[in-house]
């Protein structure tokens, strides 16, 4: 079943029970987090923009109905993803927010209506008064913030998670479109924001040079721009044909412009390139006409765009409208529909992931879709193939929405070759063991039953282990992992830290010389000390990702305590396999299991998956093998004074706070000794209720939990 079909088949949000909604919320959050990492960090997205936006829209709908699910880890509360460790971190003076999207004319009209209602409520706007919008093409590149002080370029950073980005100043200094010093009169401090991108022709020429030199080629201009800007050696970035358009600002002291259109003129006077297609529209009809014009001109533009951005032109009106969650109320991105092409399906391949999931992949005759040559497309699962009924030799329709690996929409019946055979999903894993494939009960995923004995799973787990958010070992990429594994140099993660024993053997391999081997071994040695959260994430425990690994590290403090508690919880769970039916029964199984179930964002389902993992002896041996070779740094626990007024109290903030941000309120509560959570339960000690509070406030009242207003909280915490 395709992603679009899954959305249609899924229960409407209004029909979900709270239990179903909680499970769906976690699934969506995990999936969005994965795709954020693939897009923002690895520059290798796996789903279409449209599918990604549908995931976010469903998550937002669930949170609107069940606001108690909203917490600091929700994708709706953040932008992008956590900055990597390869670059220093830069905290943005003002957050770099994302934009809400409109895909249909109805959604666009909804935006216009919300803007008008908001301005009529907050200002003296007349019902028939014009609201001008500045419209500009949405460049498909990498968002960047450039900080200037007294006219000098000081630091440049990526968007990162919206609050903190990666310091890529040295690389940005090589981009000709970025002035090192502003011309004319400029504010004492200003953050200029815009998009680094690569033009299509320059991208194709660069790819030809890369291929001729036997170096990595890129899938599309956006990936090429992002990869070029993240080079650790700025001299490499200097050889890449990067361009920059400026279009926004962060901090600006003092600010002289009163409209966005005026700001664009100021940017030009400072020496920046501003998109010449930017246009001021004074009515919704003019906005729609500009969208149609950009859609028609899109193929002839020298760079990729995936939509048009509309911004309320007057800055004072922008300030009045403000922000909601991760996006401004005064701007929106109007996305183009997906691009399509036809090509031949050569066959269907099967890929095996690190959890044993078998994923069918369409092997396509290479075709240009929206400026990108495509030869592969995921077919998701067996149900999707059954629904599409695609067969080897078919002429198929592929779709690409923005910077993505495409999806197969279906086949062209009149062009189906005679004798084309219906595809039958394999009953055995394609790995050398040929183990049987098992279907998950109630699910569409089919998995190899070989577990860690399956070499395909072993390779994928090793790839995960060295990936950016885990051990992040420079020079040990996926291809090297597979080759080393196939040749017997690696079998388990601990073997990575024993590669120095095989230095001579590696040097004899094609493509490996004295310097490259020395660099690899140095990179491995540099990772012999690792933080506990990265260590937990790298192990590859089912249902445990980056965010949950951080929570576990904070809860258990150090590696020894964490491992001891996990083993104890696994033993307790094994002795009582049928005892856990509901979360309230968890503590009856045993203290370690009960503690695990009560860790934030864990619960019984995840705890059971972890216990199953730690009840497998080979998994435990892998961890112990690594512990013998590594230093796993624990998490320093916050010291709380014995007389702290909120010591051992659990506090929840709900509603909108007017005198402080949610982060400031949380920090102050923690200073007073409290633990701050995002959901109300019987364990909650206090709920601070702001404006427009919802179900959390009602639940607190129902449970008899103490509540107080924001003013009362300010008095208590001051």
Scanning 37-102, the segments in alpha helix (DSSP H) are 49-65
Residue 705 gets the label, from left (phi > 0), alpha (psi -120 to 50) or beta, of beta
Catalytic residue, candidates 60, 138, 311, 675: 138
Beta pairing partners, 308: 137, 334
CA nearest 93: which of 38, 17, 146, 151? 146
CA nearest 165: which of 93, 253, 101, 218? 93
Beta pairing partners, 411: 396
| Integer Cα distance of 322 and 455 in angstroms | 53
Beta pairing partners, 397: 342, 410
User: Which residues of 599-709 form beta strands (DSSP E)?
Assistant: 631-633, 650-654, 675-677, 686-689, 706-709
| Integer Cα distance of 589 and 580 in angstroms | 7
Question: Residue 542 has which token pair?
Answer: 């089912």
Sheet with 133-139, side-by-side order of all strands: 101-102, 331-335, 305-312, 133-139, 279-281
Q: Do residues 326 and 379 touch, judged by C-beta distance below 8 A?
A: no
> Residues 629-644, buried b or exposed e (16+ Cβ, 10 A)?
ebebbebeeeebeeee
Beta pairing partners, 688: 653, 708
Q: Do residues 670 and 718 touch, judged by C-beta distance below 8 A?
A: no
Beta pairing partners, 691: 656
The helix (run of H) or strand (run of E) holding residue 39 is none
Residue 285 has, within 13 A of its CA and on its CB side, a CA count of 1
Q: Is 42 exposed, middle or buried (0-12, 13-18, 19+ CB in 10 A)?
A: middle
Local structure of 684: helix, strand or coil: coil
Neighbouring CB atoms inside 10 A of 412's CB total 11
Beta pairing partners, 307: 335
Q: Do residues 670 and 638 touch, judged by C-beta distance below 8 A?
A: yes
| Integer Cα distance of 322 and 325 in angstroms | 10
Local structure of 433: helix, strand or coil: coil
Question: Residue 704 has which token pair?
Answer: 């008899």
CA angle 39, 162, 192 (to 5 degrees): 105
138 given a catalytic annotation: yes
Active site residues: 138
């Amino acid at each position: 079943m395709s992603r679009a079909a899954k959305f249609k088949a899924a229960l409407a949000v209004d029909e979900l029970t709270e239990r179903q909604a909680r499970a769906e919320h976690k699934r969506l959050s995990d999936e969005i987090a994965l795709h954020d990492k693939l897009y923002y960090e690895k520059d290798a997205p796996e789903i279409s923009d449209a599918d990604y936006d549908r995931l976010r829209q469903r998550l937002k709908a669930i949170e609107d109905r069940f606001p108690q699910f909203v917490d600091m880890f929700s994708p709706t509360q953040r932008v992008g993803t956590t900055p990597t460790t390869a670059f220093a971190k830069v905290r943005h003076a003002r957050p770099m927010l994302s934009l809400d999207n409109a895909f249909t004319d109805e959604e666009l009209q909804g935006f216009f209506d919300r803007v008008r209602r908001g301005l009529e409520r907050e200002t003296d706007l007349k019902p028939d008064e014009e609201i001008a919008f500045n419209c500009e093409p949405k460049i498909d590149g990498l968002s960047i913030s450039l900080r200037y002080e007294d006219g000098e370029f000081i630091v440049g950073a990526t968007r990162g998670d919206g609050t903190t980005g990666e310091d890529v100043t040295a690389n940005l200094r090589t981009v000709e479109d970025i002035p090192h010093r502003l011309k004319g009169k400029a504010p004492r401090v200003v953050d200029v924001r815009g998009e680094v991108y690569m033009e299509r022709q320059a991208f194709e020429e660069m790819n030809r040079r890369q291929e001729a030199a036997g170096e990595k080629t890129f899938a599309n201009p956006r990936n090429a721009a992002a990869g070029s800007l993240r080079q650790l050696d700025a001299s490499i970035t200097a050889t890449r044909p990067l361009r920059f358009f400026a279009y926004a600002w962060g901090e600006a002291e003092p600010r002289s412009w009163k409209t966005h259109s005026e700001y664009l003129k100021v940017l030009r006077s400072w020496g920046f390139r501003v998109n010449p297609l930017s246009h001021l529209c004074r009515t919704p009809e003019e906005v729609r006409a500009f969208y149609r014009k950009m859609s028609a001109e899109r193929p002839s533009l020298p760079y990729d765009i995936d939509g048009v951005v509309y911004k309320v032109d007057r800055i004072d009106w922008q300030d009045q409208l403000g922000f909601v969650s991760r996006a401004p109320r005064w701007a929106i991105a109007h996305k183009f529909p997906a691009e399509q092409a036809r090509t031949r399906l050569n066959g269907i391949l099967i890929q095996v992931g690190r959890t044993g999931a078998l994923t069918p992949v369409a092997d396509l005759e290479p075709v240009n879709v929206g400026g990108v040559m495509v030869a592969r497309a995921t077919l998701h699962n067996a149900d999707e193939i059954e629904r599409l009924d695609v067969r080897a030799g078919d002429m198929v329709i592929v779709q690409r929405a923005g910077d993505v690996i495409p999806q197969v929409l279906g086949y062209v019946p009149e062009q189906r070759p005679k004798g084309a055979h219906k595809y039958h999903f394999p009953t055995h894993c394609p790995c050398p063991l040929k183990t049987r494939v098992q279907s998950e009960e109630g699910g569409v995923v089919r998995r190899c039953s070989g577990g860690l004995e399956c070499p395909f799973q072993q390779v994928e787990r090793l790839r995960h282990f060295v990936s950016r958010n885990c051990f992040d070992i420079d020079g040990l990429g996926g291809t090297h992992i597979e080759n080393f594994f196939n040749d017997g140099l690696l079998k388990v993660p601990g073997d990575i830290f024993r590669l120095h024993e095989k230095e001579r053997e590696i040097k004899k391999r094609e493509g490996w010389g004295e310097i490259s081997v020395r660099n690899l071994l140095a990179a491995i040695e540099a990772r012999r000390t690792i933080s506990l959260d990265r260590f937990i994430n790298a192990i590859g425990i089912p249902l445990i990702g980056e965010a949950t690994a951080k929570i576990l590290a904070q809860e258990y403090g150090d590696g020894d305590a964490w491992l001891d508690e996990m083993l104890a919880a696994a033993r307790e769970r094994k002795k009582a396999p049928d005892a856990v039916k509901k979360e309230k029964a968890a503590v009856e199984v045993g203290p370690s299991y009960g503690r695990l179930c009560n860790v934030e964002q864990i619960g019984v389902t995840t705890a059971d998956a972890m216990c199953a993992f730690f009840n497998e002896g080979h998994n435990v041996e892998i961890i112990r093998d690594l512990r013998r070779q590594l230093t796993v740094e624990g998490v320093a626990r916050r010291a709380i004074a014995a007389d702290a007024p909120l010591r051992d109290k659990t506090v929840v903030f709900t509603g909108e706070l007017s005198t402080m941000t949610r982060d400031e309120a949380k920090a102050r509560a923690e200073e007073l000794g409290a633990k701050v959570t995002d959901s109300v339960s019987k364990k909650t000690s206090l709920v601070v209720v702001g404006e427009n509070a919802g179900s959390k406030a009602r639940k607190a009242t129902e449970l008899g939990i103490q509540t107080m207003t924001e003013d009362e909280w300010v008095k208590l915490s001051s």
